[in-house]
Structure 1
Amino acid sequence: MLRLDRVSKVYRVGSFGRERLHAVRDVGFEVRSGQVVALIGESGSGKSTIGKMVLGLTSITGGAITFEGTDVAGLRGHRAHKEYYRRVQGVFQDPFSSFNPVFPADRVFALIRAEYFPEVGEAEWRRRIEESLRVVRLDPAQVLGKYPHQLSGGQLQRILIARALLLDIRLLVADEVISMLDASTRIDVLNLLADLKARGMGILFVTHDLSLGNYVSDTAVILRRGAIAESGPADRVFTNPLHPYTRRLLSSVPRLHRTWAQADAELPADDGGCPVHGRAGAGDGSATLVEVEAGHFVGCAGDGEGGPCRPDPRA
């Protein structure tokens, strides 16, 4: 359904744009129908930039993004983008920023109707809205007509997902959708995503939280400095991490039986061992991925900017 093939993004920075910042480097993966792909990385790893490129909110510098055979970067004109957004939608970290505080929250449904369904009658449109709200486990009587400040962050996120469901959506880009929600409402949104997956929707789940990525995803893609460090079936990536960066990330996940000091003491050293060049000698920091087991890929441990890597001491 969605395919990224060696996608890169370079920003021009500094005085007069003389310097180049490589935000994304040769990233490639697929999202299929009924599949959740977790894009995991720390701040600055390029994960949100990838989400924006998929949604057409920022251009790509190199490579290709295709959705059901359509070149996303090649979309031109209002009509082409309108048809794309009928099938692909995004929900972002701060739900409050998606609503105008001077209008009721459900005004987002009216905007969808005006753009995509002007011919639908009032009664039928009301029925569709109420049905989509019930799908996301909201009581229409409790949210319709309410202003954003009268609703919780979890309710607003689910209203945005309900808005997407009014369209013929095939792919949802969920960018840090629960990072601003309290623990009591996080599970509701996660379970909703599981329901949407069961309905056949593909989901690109962007997060910095490895625990969440492990909980919801079929496939995990670990990003480091804009490049893929490791990717594959989530159970293999999380139970058999091969890249030193992945291992260190997993060791950093808080556990209830450890104190902060104990957890810090148990972090593995960043030895720079390279799973790609572990048997062939030092590498050059390239972003090359190798398949170490069926569907499980790992990248060079170099810094991605020409910095050297060292052989993996475990090899």
Structure 2
Amino acid sequence: MAKNKDVVMSVQGLTKVFKSGILNPEYTVAAKDISFDIEKGKIISLIGESGSGKTTVGKLILKLINPSEGKIIYNGKDISEIKEKEETKQYYRRVQGIFQDPFATFNPLYRVDRVFDLIFDSFDLDYEDKDQAIREALFDVNLNPDRTLGKFPHQLSGGQLQRLLIARALLMDVDVLIADELISMLDASTRIGVLNLLVESCKKHGMAVIFITHDLNLGYYISDHSLIMYKGRLVERGDTKKVYENATHPYTQMLFEAVPEIGERWDPDEEFLPEQVVQDVKEFYQENQGKGFVEIEEEHSVLFSDK
């Protein structure tokens, strides 16, 4: 565990390689040498295009897959050493995930109350009055308990279901919440409400959040720190404002150039060449060979070479 007392989890040199095939196996490096600290009450945006490895990092933290190399330290222990059923249950008591499709999380045959019944049945939650605790958690996420409890999933909107899952995390007093594309399936009018709720819950309860997204605007709006991923590597990381105002890695610069601006119409003649980005990154690494990660300013580091 890192020395900073506010660090609740430390990711150290995390690598995940997937193997496919038996006779002539192929290996895919989904994440390589990922390191960062997760601090209490802070929101980290993990940003990158599809296939960059950000969801793999989330799955590794949630112990849904095992790392090939590296460690995830929680409470002074590498989580890969957590084997016993009771110990695993206690880990999931404090580390939870909310995913992209809220409707896939709920069983359509059961009322939504079941998500609360399950955590009270599975974990030793210290509440004198279970029903009152649930009602208070729902009020915390701006849901009316009388209009929410007893409903089936199809009777609620996607935004309401995501709020229910945040309420579940609050009841469990979660230390680390993995929010993987939390609002990507919600309409625009609902998104801002869920994001504001996440920020408020994070600050009020001291919950740390890993906000996985491909949307730079959302990352800037919500996060204290930003991690930019490209082809399984962290290529730029640090204070969100500094990363956004002084993007240095060629991939990060490309991401910002690709963001449309309000008031400017799309130019149909403008071309985007993915292979040009690959070439720019290659040249950038060759020019800075041997440097590795460099802190270019306080709380802002860039991967200058991948060797």
Q: TM-score, normalised by structure 2?
A: 0.90
Q: 2:116·2:134 contact (CA, 8 Å) conserved in 1?
A: yes
- Deviation readout 1:217-254 (Å, 9 max, x if unpaired): 11100000000111110001101000010001011112
- What is the CA–CA distance in structure 2 between the aligned matches of 1:2 and 1:16, rounded to whole Å? 39
How many equivalent residue pairs? 297
Question: Counterparts in 2 of 1:1-315, with a 5 A limit?
Answer: 1-16=8-23, 18-117=25-124, 124-199=129-204, 200-261=206-267, 264=270, 270=277, 272=280, 281=287, 283=289, 288-300=292-304
Q: 2:288·2:304 contact (CA, 8 Å) conserved in 1?
A: no
- What is the CA–CA distance in structure 2 between the aligned matches of 1:250 and 1:111, rounded to whole Å? 43
TM-aligned CA deviation for residue 283 of structure 1: 3.0
- What is the CA–CA distance in structure 2 between the aligned matches of 1:275 and 1:170, rounded to whole Å? 41
TM-aligned CA deviation for residue 277 of structure 1: 5.4
1:139–1:257: structure 2 CA closer, same or farther, 3 Å change rule?
Answer: same
1:119–1:198: structure 2 CA closer, same or farther, 3 Å change rule?
Answer: closer
- Deviation readout 1:192-216 (Å, 9 max, x if unpaired): 1111221211111111111101111
TM-aligned CA deviation for residue 119 of structure 1: 8.8
TM-aligned CA deviation for residue 71 of structure 1: 1.4
- What is the CA–CA distance in structure 1 between the aligned matches of 2:185 and 2:24, rounded to whole Å? 34
Question: Percent identity over the alignment?
Answer: 43
Q: Which runs of no fewer than 5 residues in structure 2 stay unpaired?
A: 1-7
- Deviation readout 1:82-125 (Å, 9 max, x if unpaired): 1111111110000111110010011111111111248967xx11
Q: 2:14·2:67 contact (CA, 8 Å) conserved in 1?
A: yes
1:15–1:274: structure 2 CA closer, same or farther, 3 Å change rule?
Answer: closer
Q: TM-score, normalised by structure 1?
A: 0.88
Secondary structure of the residue aligned to 1:229 is strand
Further displaced range: 208-217 or 262-271: 262-271
TM-aligned CA deviation for residue 147 of structure 1: 0.3
1:171–1:261: structure 2 CA closer, same or farther, 3 Å change rule?
Answer: same
Secondary structure of the residue aligned to 2:234 is strand
Q: RMSD in angstroms over aligned alpha carbons?
A: 2.4
Q: 1:41·1:223 contact (CA, 8 Å) conserved in 2?
A: yes
- What is the CA–CA distance in structure 2 between the aligned matches of 1:119 and 1:6, rounded to whole Å? 36
TM-aligned CA deviation for residue 260 of structure 1: 1.7
